[in-house]
Amino acid sequence: MQALLDFTTGISVVLILMVLVSIRRQHIRVEYSVTWFGAALTLLLLSRSPGAVSKLAGALNISDPPLALVSIAGCLFLLVLFRLSVILSNLKDANIALAQRVAILEYHLSAHEEETARS
């Protein structure tokens, strides 16, 4: 149990540092880092509170606290991935609309230029 908690602490700290460095280098925008921070902090707090993990395992009716911790971590990352899919879908929609608008405007522009050249 202790080994797993220490490992989770290590992973959480690494994740928090990675996100911080990425924000500083502008590889990730602040608004998209919030969910990663939330997930990493939750894991950090849980990994430093074995009592809380045991209580959570009891509440979830999971007999093995380490298994509960792994399950919670898995769920957190699933939530993060789901949120990213939503963001990605919105961005794709916006990107398609933008590309279509650019194409339409370029079409209007070239039609206007052709008319001007004729007259």
Partner 1 sequence: MNAEKLLIIVPAFNEEAAVGHVVREIREVTPGVPVLVIDDCSTDQTAAVARAAGAKVMSLPHHLGLGGAVQAGYKLAFELGYQYVIRVDGDGQHDPRYITAIFEALRNSGCQMVIGSRFLEGKFDQATLVRALGIRFFRLVLRPILGRPVHDPTSGFVGVNRDALQVFSRSFPLEYPEIEALVVLQRRKFRFLEVPCRMRRRMAGRSTITVFKSLYYIVHVLLGVFVNVLKYERKRRRG
Query: Which 60-119 residues touch partner 1, going by CB under 8 A?
Result: 96, 99-100, 102-104, 106-107, 111
Query: Which 43-62 residues touch partner 1, going by CB under 8 A?
Result: none
Q: Per rule CB under 8 A, is residue 41 in the interface with partner 1? A: no
Distance CA 53, CA 45 (A): 10
Cα 12 to chain centroid distance, Å, stands at 14
Q: How far is the CB of 110 from partner 1 (least distance, A)?
A: 9
Distance CA 62, CA 68 (A): 6
Nearer to partner 1, 60 or 97 (CB): 97
Nearest-5° Cα angle at 86, 81 to 89: 120
Residue ranges in contact with partner 1 by CB under 8 A: 96, 99-100, 102-104, 106-107, 111
